[in-house]
């Protein structure tokens, strides 16, 4: 029989152990690793290459572009195309560049994001915690709304906005964005609030807090991740929107995306590839910036059960 | 005694599922009532109805003589403690304690006074400025009790408050809750699935199953005279041993089953008097004597030890009598081993008889 009692006091003897001991050594260069990292590198190059071409082209002058080597870095760096894209490129009669569209987009995005999130979070909270009569039917209809193609609703929306006198205004577009963001955002918030412990809600009710007090004092402070997720979805969605912007506003009020299209697709004169590239990069900067500053919270919100059914 | 809480003909159904059926319950002032049952028996649902967190389908609830059936939870004069503590994570302990009082618009001085008192009773004064995340499980549950305490109400509701704690802490806090009840003298309703908690804390236990109260009695009565076979098997660990057989009242009352004929002289029949026919006989492991003690018992048999579980204070053994396996409880110092033979026996007054058809006590 093995002497079990002595092993407790072994201490010193441990140094003389034979055979495998301690952490198992891991090989760094294995076939699996080469395959995985190789694939990852190739795929990321594939995605980064267009970005590289755009940045390089936007920093070249037209003569250099005409040489034709699109992958080569510029021989002579110039920021002229960026300046022109921001403040000098022409769309129709206006020659004040993308800056006008940028400010329009800001004026569209900020209120749309704020209003849609504010309403949807209260919707989600009510659906999750205050099961009113017909809540399930209401929720089903709302979710159904998320599956109806936008095209079906474009024209009725035009008529409705015209009737209330908001067609062609920024306010009208903000309303459109708010309405169309509602189904998915409500779903998002409802699922998040459902995942919070129900006993907290009960405790707050025993403590005499009402609908709004529970929302502001208990639910809101616990919901930062999901608000960040909603904000990212809405900012990128609304900033990148083209369809609604072109339909529900007029040329003076076109958002940045529409103006970008008009600059890039203008048929008169020489195609200024460097200005087009700079304009495109400028338009994409805002969503990119949002992702960079809130990436970590975004992942946390997604992980917190935000997107699961 | 004037009832503190009175539940009358309470029905609750979720769609087609009846969770509570025509439930009636009176709880005296200052009484500690435990609702005990396995999961899904309706005990937490009943508590939520009393708290006003669930709308009842029919019936009435009175608290301190007032019909509160339609009242908001905060207006019912109750405080509630939850299993998950349900502390507001973004508030400090003090914020948690004062949230309800601020909602009620209470003057600042009185809030401070109440928090001070609750913190003193529960010994959580050093924790007041901390957030719940910085507290241990036991401290959190103490704060949760404090939140009910500051409300200064007549009725405390506990929804499995100790189930999330480890075994040692649970024993400590259990004693503290009992002490708290002795100090404050509030009416308390306590939901648990843990029979030890129920036995130690309760003035009366209500054993629930399928939305019905099967027995409502003192812990001692429930242990000694379970009203039916379910209660008998539910209370006690290990469970009561059962024999299936027939009660024969021909001469001296006898219970006969395949393990032999057991003398029933001395058994206290229920109010309906002795009843013959098919029945279950139940005997608790701790009421089975063995060795020299067994010699004095009117019911005796030989048993073979199959399994031994030493617990330190006691030793549990599974023994075989004929084809039947029984649990018996022995002294902790016992040195029996599997394969030993024992003489075991019991006194008829320790046994329990249940009708085979209705499973009710005879």
Partner-chain contact A209 B80, CB within 8 Å? no
Partner-chain contact A197 B53, CB within 8 Å? no
CB count, 10 Å around CB of A224?
13
pLDDT band at A12 (very low <50, low <70, confident <90, very high): low
pLDDT at B3: 86
Partner-chain contact B72 A208, CB within 8 Å? yes
Q: Is the ipTM of this complex over 0.90?
A: no
Burial of residue A296 (number of CB atoms within 10 Å: 0-12, 13-18, 19+) = exposed
Residue range A66-78: mean pLDDT, rounded: 86
Pairing of strands B254-257, B260-263: antiparallel
> Do B156 and B81 touch, CB atoms closer than 8 A?
yes
Burial annotation A152-180 (CB, 10 A radius, 16+ → b, else e): eeeeebbeebeeeebbbebebbbbbbbeb
Positive or negative, the CA dihedral A122, A127, A133, A139 is positive
At the top level of CATH, the class of B233-355 is mainly beta
Model confidence over A32-62: pLDDT tens digits? 999 999 999 999 999 999 999 999 999 998 8
Model confidence over B292-327: pLDDT tens digits? 888 888 888 889 999 999 999 999 999 999 888 999
CA distances from B303 to B177, B243, B289, B327 (A): 43, 15, 12, 11
Residues of B in contact with A222 (CB under 8 A): 89-90
pLDDT at A265: 84
- Most B CBs within 10 A among A132, A196, A198, A206, hence the mutation to make, goes to A206
**Fold of the CATH domain B3-228:** Rossmann fold (3.40.50)
The dihedral formed by the CA atoms of A18, A19, A21 and A25, expressed in degrees to the nearest 10: 140
- Most A CBs within 10 A among B74, B83, B118, hence the mutation to make, goes to B74
Partner-chain contact B88 A208, CB within 8 Å? no
Task: Name the token pair of B35.
Answer: 């609702």
Coil/strand/helix, residue A46: helix
B98-103 contacts at long range (C-beta below 8 A, 24 or more positions apart):
B98/B150, B99/A204, B99/A207, B99/A209, B99/A217, B99/B147, B100/A206, B100/A207, B100/A208, B100/A209, B100/B74, B100/B147, B100/B150, B100/B151, B101/B150, B101/B151, B103/A207, B103/A208, B103/A209, B103/A213, B103/B74
pLDDT at A225: 84
Residues of B with CB under 8 A from a CB of A: 48, 51-53, 72-75, 78-80, 82-84, 86-90, 99-100, 103-104, 147, 159
Model confidence over B258-275: pLDDT tens digits? 888 888 888 888 888 888
B48, B52, B86: residue with CB nearest A203 = B86
B72, B86, B88: residue with CB nearest A202 = B86
Partner-chain contact A202 B83, CB within 8 Å? no
pLDDT band at A306 (very low <50, low <70, confident <90, very high): very low
B62: pLDDT strictly greater than 60: yes
Model confidence over A253-289: pLDDT tens digits? 999 999 999 888 876 777 888 899 999 999 998 888 8
Residue range A116-127: mean pLDDT, rounded: 95
Domain segments of chain B: what residues? 3-228, 233-355
A93: pLDDT strictly greater than 80: no
What's the rounded Cα separation, in Å, for the pair B88 and B94?
Answer: 11
- CA-based nearest distance B79→chain A, Å: 7
A residues 181..220 contacting B (CB < 8 A):
197, 199-200, 202-209, 213, 217-218
pLDDT band at A309 (very low <50, low <70, confident <90, very high): very low
- CA-based nearest distance B236→chain A, Å: 31
A206, A213, A221: residue with CB nearest B80 = A206
Positive or negative, the CA dihedral B246, B248, B253, B258 is negative
A207, A221, A222: residue with CB nearest B74 = A207
Partner-chain contact B100 A208, CB within 8 Å? yes
CATH for A99-306, options being 1.10.3720.10, 3.40.50.970, 1.20.1090.10, 3.40.50.300: 1.10.3720.10
- Most B CBs within 10 A among A131, A201, A203, A218, hence the mutation to make, goes to A203
Residues of B in contact with A213 (CB under 8 A): 103
Partner-chain contact B74 A197, CB within 8 Å? no
Instruction: Name residues whose C-beta falls within 8 Å of residue B233's C-beta, 6 or more positions apart in sequence.
Output: B239, B240, B242, B282
A86-90, B75-79, B161-165 — which is least confidently predicted? A86-90
Residue range A54-75: mean pLDDT, rounded: 88
């Amino acid at each position: 029989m093995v002497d079990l009692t002595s092993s407790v006091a072994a201490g010193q003897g441990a140094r003389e152990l034979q055979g495998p001991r301690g952490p198992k050594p891991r090989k760094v260069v294995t076939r699996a690793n080469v395959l995985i990292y190789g694939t990852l590198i190739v795929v990321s190059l594939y995605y980064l290459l267009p970005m590289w071409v755009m940045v390089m082209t936007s920093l070249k002058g037209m003569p250099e572009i005409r040489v034709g080597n699109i992958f080569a870095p510029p021989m002579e760096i110039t920021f002229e195309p960026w300046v022109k894209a921001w403040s000098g490129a022409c769309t129709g009669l206006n020659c004040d560049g993308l800056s006008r569209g940028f400010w329009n987009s800001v004026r569209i995005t900020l209120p749309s994001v704020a209003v849609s999130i504010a309403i949807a979070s209260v919707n989600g909270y009510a659906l999750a915690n205050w099961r009113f009569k017909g809540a399930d039917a209401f929720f089903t209809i709302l979710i159904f709304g998320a599956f109806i193609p936008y095209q079906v609703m474009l024209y009725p929306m035009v008529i409705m906005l015209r009737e209330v006198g908001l067609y062609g205004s920024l306010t009208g577009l903000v309303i459109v964005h708010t309405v169309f963001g509602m189904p998915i955002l409500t779903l998002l918030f409802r699922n998040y609030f459902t995942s919070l412990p129900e006993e907290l809600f009960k405790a707050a009710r025993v403590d005499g807090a009402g609908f709004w007090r529970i929302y502001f004092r208990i639910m809101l402070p616990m919901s930062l991740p999901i608000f960040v997720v909603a904000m990212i979805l809405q900012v990128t969605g609304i900033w990148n929107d083209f369809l609604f912007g072109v339909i529900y506003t007029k040329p003076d009020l076109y958002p940045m995306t529409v103006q970008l299209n008009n600059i890039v697709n203008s048929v008169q004169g020489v195609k200024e590839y460097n200005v087009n590239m700079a304009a495109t990069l400028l338009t994409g900067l805002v969503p990119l910036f949002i992702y960079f500053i809130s990436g970590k919270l975004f992942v946390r919100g997604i992980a917190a059960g935000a997107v699961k059914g | 005694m004037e009832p503190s809480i009175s539940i009358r003909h309470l029905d609750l159904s979720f769609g087609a599922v009846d969770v509570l059926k025509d439930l009636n319950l009176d709880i005296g002032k200052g009484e500690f009532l435990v609702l005990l049952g396995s999961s899904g028996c309706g005990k937490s649902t009943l508590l939520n109805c009393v708290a006003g967190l669930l709308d009842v389908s029919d019936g009435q609830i009175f608290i301190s003589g007032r019909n509160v059936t339609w009242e908001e939870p905060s207006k019912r004069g109750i405080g509630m403690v939850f299993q998950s503590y349900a502390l507001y994570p973004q508030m400090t302990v003090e914020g948690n304690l004062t949230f309800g009082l601020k909602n009620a618009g209470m003057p600042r001085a009185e809030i401070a006074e109440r928090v001070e008192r609750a913190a003193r009773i529960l010994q959580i004064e050093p924790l007041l400025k901390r957030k719940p995340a910085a507290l241990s499980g036991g401290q959190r549950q103490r704060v949760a009790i404090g939140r009910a305490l500051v409300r200064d109400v007549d009725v405390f509701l506990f929804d499995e408050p100790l189930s999330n704690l480890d075994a040692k802490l649970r024993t400590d806090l259990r004693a503290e809750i009992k002490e708290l009840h002795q100090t404050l003298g509030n009416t308390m309703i306590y939901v648990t699935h843990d029979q030890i908690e129920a036995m130690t804390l309760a003035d009366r236990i209500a054993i629930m199953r399928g939305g019905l109260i099967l027995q409502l009695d003192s812990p001692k009565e429930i242990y000694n005279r379970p009203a039916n076979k379910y209660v008998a098997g539910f209370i006690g660990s290990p469970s009561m041993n059962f024999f299936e057989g027939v009660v024969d009242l021909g001469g001296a009352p006898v219970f006969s089953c395949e393990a032999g004929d057991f003398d029933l002289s001395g058994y206290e029949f229920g109010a309906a008097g002795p009843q013959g026919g098919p029945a279950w006989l139940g005997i608790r492991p701790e009421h089975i004597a063995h060795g020299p003690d067994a010699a004095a018992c009117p019911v005796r048999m030989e048993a073979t030890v199959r399994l031994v579980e030493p617990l330190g204070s006691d030793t549990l053994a599974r023994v075989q009598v004929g084809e039947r396996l029984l649990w018996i409880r022995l002294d902790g110092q016992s040195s029996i081993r599997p394969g030993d033979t024992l003489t075991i026996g019991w006194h008829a007054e320790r046994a329990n008889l249940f009708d085979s058809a209705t499973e009710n006590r005879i």
